[in-house]
Structure 1
Amino acid sequence: MVKRSDKVGEEIHKIISELLIKGLKDPRIGFVTITGVKMTPDVRMATVYFTVHGGDEQRQNSAAGLNSARGFIRKEIGQALKMRFTPEIQFKYDTSLEYGQHIESILKEIGSTDDGDNT
């Protein structure tokens, strides 16, 4: 059985992704991908996870742009969802992709050292 908070999170994910495709006017927001939305059980708070194509500076600029557009994004969510209360939005950079790449590089390193040690 799907929880209400999960359904609302999926809808918020779609809405924000569409807003990013249409283009928010803030030039600081780079190539941002929404990776997930986690809702509190009472659906009053949404944590929106994102990744950015680029380095640390691009990540910081995009985070600042998203936080600056938070009011506009929240208004658009409220109009689309027609809920009694529009959830507060918090943006967080998703480090899971970087973590996965780090683990993969470690495994490759271990694999390359094992190949030569067969004595």
Structure 2
Amino acid sequence: MITHEIKGYAFNSLNLYQLKSIMESKRQQKYSKLIQKEIGEIFQKEAKHLLGSTFVTISGVSMSPDLGVAKIYLSFLLDKDKVMFEKINEKKSEIRKHLGNRIGKSVRIVPELALFLDDSASYAQHMDKVISSLDIPEAPEEDEETED
């Protein structure tokens, strides 16, 4: 399991992404939605040179309590997603700069970006394949006995 540390916050790639709506305050949720929307628009309009024809989905954003770190979960519609993820991860300072230009006047600080590869779709496919390959015997049918 990969562990990252940014600004004293230690987290791994499976870190509470699924529980963010329960754990985050309304302020964090508001910033998460804003960051998700703006990063999506940056990928569509300003970072075409970075992505080429790759289709990237921002499947989720989770903010630290002090709003200093944004954990961004990306999913790709390609088999070579790890290569594209590394390319985007190398350019995250450029993406953060674009984000600052867009939201700089409405936030106190532009958060550090921590990018994660969201593999929940491939994991779901794997689990579906495992479940369908199980050899589960049929339950014996119960004979209904009628009383005379």
**Which TM-score band applies after superposition, normalised by the shorter structure?**
0.7 to 0.9
**CA RMSD after TM alignment:** 2.3
Question: SS of the residue aligned with 2:97?
Answer: helix
2:12 maps to what in 1? none
Q: Distance in 1 between matches of 2:59 and 2:51?
A: 21
Larger-Rg structure: 2
Higher helix share: 1
- In the other structure, the counterpart of 2:90 is 68
In the TM superposition, residue 118 of structure 1 has moved relative to its aligned partner by 5.7
The count of aligned residue pairs is 114
Distance 2:124 2:51 in 1: 29
Whether the 8 Å contact between 2:43 and 2:51 is mirrored in structure 1 is no
Kindly, what percent of the aligned residue pairs are identical?
29
TM-score, normalised relative to structure 1:
0.80
Could you list the structure 1 runs, at least 4 aligned residues long, displaced by more than 4 angstroms after superposition.
Answer: 116-119
> Bigger CA drift: 36-45 or 20-29?
20-29
Displacement of 1:3 in angstroms is 1.5
TM-score, normalization by structure 2: 0.66
**Structure 2: tracts of 5 or more residues without a match:** 1-24, 141-148
| RCO comparison, higher one (Cα < 8 Å, 6+) | 1
Q: Check 1:53–1:46 CA distance in 2 against 1; reply closer, same or farther (3 A cut).
A: same
Alignment gaps of 5+ in structure 1 = none
